[in-house]
A = this chain, B = another copy of it.
Amino acid sequence: MHHILSNLRIDINSSLFLKDPESSPLGQKIIKSSIDLIDHHGIEDFNFKKLALEIGSTESSIYRYFENKHRLLLYLSSLYWGIIEFQLVLQTNNLEPGMAKLMKAVETLFAIPQTDKLSFSVEGKKLRHILNAEFVKAYHNKHIDEQNKKGYFSIYKRVVLRLSDIIIEVNPEYKFSNSLSSLIIEGSMNQYFLSEHFHNLTDCHSEDNLYVFYKDLLTQTLKI
């Protein structure tokens, strides 16, 4: 039902899975190997048959953990945003409101999620790559409203709203904090994607460039 990270727990909506993957070696292998496979071949070329082959199990066994691969992607997304949220809080909650805090938050949002204290082994770099490449597919889907109601995106939404709060602290007069927050977060995933596939549509080919781009954008936009 949740991941333990030191003594902090990441609560993943339990209706995303049929059986908690953390609770067994097979479940843990499912998570670990699905990240490897999706990272390497993309979600479209990924299915439970291939995953079963990879971990030396069977399709039917995997179906006992997840209803389908889309739920698994939502699980991985929640895991990712849960770690990011934890890091965001950890890095910023003791800082004074202001641009320095906001930029610390932005930096944290792009950082590789720290997975070493998770109860099972997950490669943070691969997890981030999956999210950058595939997260849009997690919500651009015909069941979005129904799934949203069930809370499958709540961690992600909380992250957007937390960044929005930090924006508001910088400039309480600013009227578009939610839009700016979502623009920044969605935008960063998209800029990664562009850098990989439509190289000349972005100037940000490294985290550093993206950081500078956003720092300038935010500093100018939120000037009082």
Contacts and interface: CB of A to CB of B under 8 A. Distances in A.
Interface residues of A, number: 48
Contacts of A203: 175-179
A197 B137 contact: no
Interface stretch (A25-33, A75-83, A91-99, A141-149): A141-149
Interface in A139-157: 139-142, 144-145, 148, 153, 157
A144 B176 contact: no
28 contacts: A44-B141, A133-B140, A134-B140, A136-B140, A137-B137, A137-B140, A139-B198, A140-B193, A148-B198, A153-B198, A157-B200, A161-B200, A176-B213, A176-B217, A178-B200, A178-B201, A179-B191, A179-B202, A179-B204, A181-B201, A182-B202, A183-B183, A183-B187, A183-B190, A186-B187, A217-B221, A220-B221, A221-B221
